[in-house]
Amino acid sequence: MDLGVNEQMPILKKNRMPAGVAELDLILEGGFANPGNAIVIGPSGTEKAALAYHFAAAAASNENSYIICGNSSAADIIRKAATFGISLDRPNIYFIDCYSATLGKAAEPTPKVMVVSGPGALNDLSLMLNEAMKASAGKRMRVVFDTLSTFVVYSPQDSIRKFLTVIEGRLKSAGATTLFLIDEGVHDRQLVSLLEQGMDEIYTITDTGGKFFLRVPDADIMIPIKVGPTGLAII
């Protein structure tokens, strides 16, 4: 009988994808839902980014990670992650750059960096994600929208909702776990509720006077976290 758990580590569920932070993976019984779509809402600081970069960097040899860049270039994200002790310069981590075009000059595509003509080009981004899914056939995918807030600012609400409805389903069908980062305070509650539709899990990072806490689904607890030289840690 399949009990839906990891037989070597029974506390961990099988249908999870590790977050890349050992203590958090134990709390989440193995990580984020896989396949699944998760939204991470929090201040526009390092904690939310560190959580996402740990997740992308944790890709195993049978997985590919894709980071969709909305407010930084691929090179900037790699440098930022390195300050947390997280390496994103790896063979199975790819980037879809939707940011550089906003500077007036689109970046040149490379084997590791695909380029979209701006965060408002949702159709082009959808096509790039289709290509990523084809390239990852037979592998699990980790996808990070860094940040979804940027794409929301550049597009009408109905366009964003239609885009999310399509890609959420496609990515789950491809076996992906996707983290959608949302900057706290940028959108009104009604819009956030709209973005939460279709999500399998909702995570919230709260700043209480310089101390940060992570609220996870199905747990009525606030987990204290901090970012140090080795990345995100549970304290």
pLDDT > 90? residue 193: yes
In a domain, 203, yes or no: yes
pLDDT digit string (tens) for 86-103? 999 999 999 999 999 999
Closest CA to 176 of 137, 215, 148: 137
pLDDT > 70? residue 6: no
Q: How many CA atoms lie within 13 A of 26 on its CB side?
A: 5
Task: Encode 140-153: b = buried (16+ Cβ within 10 Å), e = exposed.
Answer: bbbbbbbbbbbbbb
Tell me the CATH number at 168.
3.40.50.300
Per DSSP, 29 falls in state T
pLDDT at residue number 105: 77
The pTM of the full predicted model, rounded to 2 decimals, is 0.93
C-alpha distances out from residue 92 to 12, 104, 142, 171, Å = 25, 29, 10, 17
In a domain, 47, yes or no: yes
Domain count along the chain: 1
pLDDT > 70? residue 22: yes
**What are the DSSP calls for 98-110, one per residue?**
-SGGGGTSPPPP-
Q: CA 70, 71, 74: angle at the middle one, nearest 5?
A: 80
3-state secondary structure of 8: coil
In a domain, 1, yes or no: no
State the pLDDT confidence band at 14, using cuts at 50, 70 and 90.
confident
3-state secondary structure of 223: strand
pLDDT at residue number 221: 82
In a domain, 222, yes or no: yes
Mean pLDDT for 107-123 is 95
In a domain, 36, yes or no: yes
pLDDT at residue number 89: 96
Q: How many CA atoms lie within 13 A of 138 on its CB side?
A: 2
Mean pLDDT for 150-168 is 95
Question: H helices then E strands: how many in the chain?
Answer: 7, 12
pLDDT > 90? residue 124: yes
In a domain, 61, yes or no: yes
pLDDT > 60? residue 16: yes
pLDDT at residue number 11: 62
In a domain, 5, yes or no: no
Mean pLDDT for 180-205 is 94
CB atoms within 10 A of CB 193: 10
pLDDT at residue number 31: 96
Could you tell me how many residues make up the chain?
235
pLDDT at residue number 1: 28
In a domain, 76, yes or no: yes
pLDDT at residue number 192: 94
Beta-sheet pairing, 222-228 with 211-215: antiparallel
pLDDT > 80? residue 116: yes
Q: CA 145, 148, 151: angle at the middle one, nearest 5?
A: 115
pLDDT at residue number 4: 46
Domain extent for 38: 17-234
pLDDT > 70? residue 122: yes
pLDDT at residue number 44: 87
